[in-house]
A and B are shown apart, each in its own frame.
Chain A
Amino acid sequence: MILKEKIERLIDESTLLNIPLMFKLLFRYKFVVMATIVFCLSVCSYLYTRQVEIYWSSIRFSNMQEKSSSPMDAISVALGTDAKDGGFNNSLAEEVRALRLSMDFTRNLVNKLMEKEYFDKMDFNPTNKKSDKFIVSELKNTCEGKEDCFIEAMVRLVPGFYSIEDPERTGLNFVLEVGTADKRTTEILLDVVAKAISASRLDTIRMGYIEQTKSAEKLVAKERVSLKEKNYLGLVKKKELLKDEVTNLQYEIQIHNKLLMENQSQLTIAEAKVQKANSIIKLGVDNKGLNTDKKRNFLREKIDNLSKDINALELIRISHSTREIDILNSLKKELRKSERKLKKLGNTRSVASLNEFVQKSKIKVEENEFNYRVFKGYALKASKKAVLLKEKSTGLVDSLLSTKTKLEHMRPSVNFLKALEAKVIQLKLLEITSTSDLKFDNFATFPVKTKKITRLMLFVYTVFFIVFSLLGVLCTRFLFDDNVYDEEDLKRIFPKVNVLGTAPTFEE
């Protein structure tokens, strides 16, 4: 009952707590108040001094695709006049923020950290207590050499040491901030996380291309199956074979025609030869003609010899003697005489050769007649073959046209397949050549040493701590304090009882 009354006294309808009573209690329990204040100050001071000194370092990075490099855009973003809401892709911001929670990313990060020489000396103290040691080598010892255990421990620890502020908060760029209890650890972690973010982004971009490639390849496979079902390749092969066959046949026909022509020519020649030989044989050759022909040949030889002698003598005429001149003249005279005789005999074909020709024709006429028969037989066969070849050619051309028509029907599918294949190649090229769209600054901020709770914050915390502690202590003390402190208390407890006065004391 008393407790209930006291609670009612503590509570005020308008101010929640009875403020005047609180001030009264403040002075009533002044030693408790002082002790509480001293205690709170001591606790806060202790908490401040035991804090780990954290080395903070940060680096900015931006989205190259979304962020314009022009100063005007940056100004418009800063002023909030950009219609694109800062010009940043929210999904990218979310993706970058989500990296910190990604187990894959963190494991990758830990693996990369483990490759560093300084790794064993890194300090990952998450407790904000100086006394606690979280050096990597000690963590390894706690896991007793079990790598899985160690990696799990690191995966749990590492995300707590960096944060990624997105552009919505920082204004223009993403900010990667790292804070650890060791300067070198901060520098290494910042570097590794920055590279890992960039690599992760690149993987994401590549993953997009890979997915597209897979999708395109699926379509390619589907189209290929479709074309295979339609026997596209068979048709193409058939078309090529038919083309070759037609070409070969055309060539064969040409050759055949040529041979036929040649054969025809030879047949004609053979026919002519046979006819000529038969006519010469019929004409025959007389002896007189043969003698005249002998004289003519004799005169031609004589003229020829005389001409040679005369020419030889004329070449050496300077030193000619009279005798030689006489000889020359006689030779000339003889030449003229021989020429006159030859002229009288007539300068016609030699009957001897004709005769010889006739003789030879008689000998060859059988051969020519054989050849003629052969050529004629060949001509007949060739004519028949030409007809056959023509028919075959017509059939092949028809088949070729039919195949071409079928292929023409398949052309859209084929073109689509070609386009898809081109796309696949393009995507593969993009996958190979793509780069991260996140651009990190060249230099990070120099590690700055601070404590998690700064002095100003500590002051604020201390004030709150003291106020709430005092409230708690005063209320508790008041609730459980049964002593009577003043007349007001007496009048409140015993409203009907008078306070008579103060007991007298005497001087000794």
Chain B
Amino acid sequence: MTAKKLEIKNTESQGISTGEGSFYGSVLKFNLQEKKEVDQTRLPLSCYFKVKNHIELLSLGRNFHNSFKEGNRVFALTGFATSVDVEQTILGLGAYFNFDHGITCDLITPEFRNSEFTKLVKEDVEEKVKKWDNCSLDYHKTYSLTQYSITGLENIFKSVDLISFENILCDLFSKDNQAYFVALPDLKTIEDNLEFYYPILQHIDSVAISTELKKTKEKVLKKHMNYFEKSNIKIEGIILK
């Protein structure tokens, strides 16, 4: 598989995310350890402080960060009822990674312009275009957070051949010192459009499945679990809604 995910062996980048701790103390730690090695920008995004359940976000983020420390970089989230939910979760995790640990994050959301990213992030958001030979991808960037959209990737998939698409994906997921949060649609959409999603899945290190208590069916959860386990993707865990 040409699009096999890249091995990340930069041991220095492992040291980047050692800075755990309280919200305020972590800022100093990153400043001392990481400023010379990585071009990371801590972003005290206002949206981060607008999270209602901050304690839960810290707990959730800590779990993901632990996984990140273990070498997983590309995290997929699936099973959410709406795109709003998954976008808010990704944004929250990105904000946590960036602000608490100074890790640059790429967020791949379902929507691009109408995404929660554009609605919630107010600070210096720039819309840029990343270009390859025959195609381009719009993205939003604010400090160390970058947002792409699945729809944008889908447009690329449609405009280029599969190898080129895989190369583009490799290019996108090539940064070894940053985290990626991919919002996957529901399993049926993935299966229906497997040619597009399969290359993306190849880059995913672990997947977290959303569960809405009292609404999510056990069968659906098991189906998700089985699917990703059989796809050789690590199950990161379950995110409660």
Contact = CB atoms under 8 A, between A and B. Distances in A.
A433 B151 CA distance: 114
Interface in A293-352: none
Interface in A464-493: 482-487, 489-490, 493
Contact of A497 (B51, B60, B225): B225
Contact of A506 (B50, B56, B63, B214): B50
B217 A483 contact: yes
B60 A503 contact: yes
Interface in A233-255: none
Nearest to A491: B238
A442 interface: no
B214 A504 contact: no
Contacts of B219: 2, 482
B148 to A, nearest CB: 20
B216 A504 contact: no
B47 to A, nearest CB: 6
B222 A501 contact: no
B221 A484 contact: yes
A486 B216 CA distance: 11
Contacts of A499: 237-238, 240
A503 B210 contact: yes
Number of chain A interface residues as a range: 20 to 34
Given A503-B89, A506-B52, A498 B211 contact: no
A501 B238 CA distance: 7
Interface in A178-200: none
A483 B214 contact: yes
B63 A500 contact: yes
A497 to B, nearest CB: 6
B238 A506 contact: no
B9 interface: no
Contact of A501 (B50, B116, B214, B239): B239
Contacts of A489: 218
B83 to A, nearest CB: 13
Contact of B52 (A497, A500, A504): A504
Contacts of B54: 504
Contacts of A497: 225, 235, 237-238
Interface string B53-74: 1101101100110000000000
B8 interface: no
Interface string A161-182: 0000000000000000000000
B163 interface: no
A507 interface: yes
A506 B122 CA distance: 13
B221 A507 contact: no
Interface in B183-223: 208, 210-211, 213-219, 221-222
Contact of A484 (B59, B88, B216, B239): B216
A490 B238 contact: yes
A504 B57 contact: yes
B138 interface: no
B92 A506 contact: yes
B116 A506 contact: yes
A506 B47 contact: yes
A331 B116 CA distance: 212
A500 B219 CA distance: 20
A507 B50 CA distance: 5
Given A500-B236, A502-B241, A486 B213 contact: yes
Contacts of A91: none
A506 B84 CA distance: 10
Nearest to B222: A493
Contacts of A2: 218-219
Given A484-B213, A504-B60, A506-B88, A493 B237 contact: no
Nearest to B77: A503
Contacts of A415: none
Contacts of B240: 487, 499, 501-503
B237 A506 contact: no
B113 to A, nearest CB: 18
A484 B47 CA distance: 31
B120 to A, nearest CB: 6
Contacts of A23: none
A15 interface: no
A498 B92 contact: no
Given A504-B56, A504-B92, A506-B50, A483 B235 contact: no
16 contacts: A483-B218, A484-B211, A484-B214, A493-B218, A497-B235, A497-B237, A498-B236, A499-B238, A501-B60, A502-B53, A502-B239, A503-B241, A504-B60, A504-B92, A505-B53, A506-B91
Interface of B: 47, 50-54, 56-57, 59-60, 63-64, 80, 85, 88-89, 91-93, 116, 120, 208, 210-211, 213-219, 221-222, 225, 235-241
Given A482-B219, A483-B216, A497-B238, 13 more contacts: A2-B219, A485-B214, A490-B211, A497-B237, A498-B236, A500-B60, A500-B64, A501-B60, A502-B239, A503-B88, A504-B54, A507-B50, A507-B51
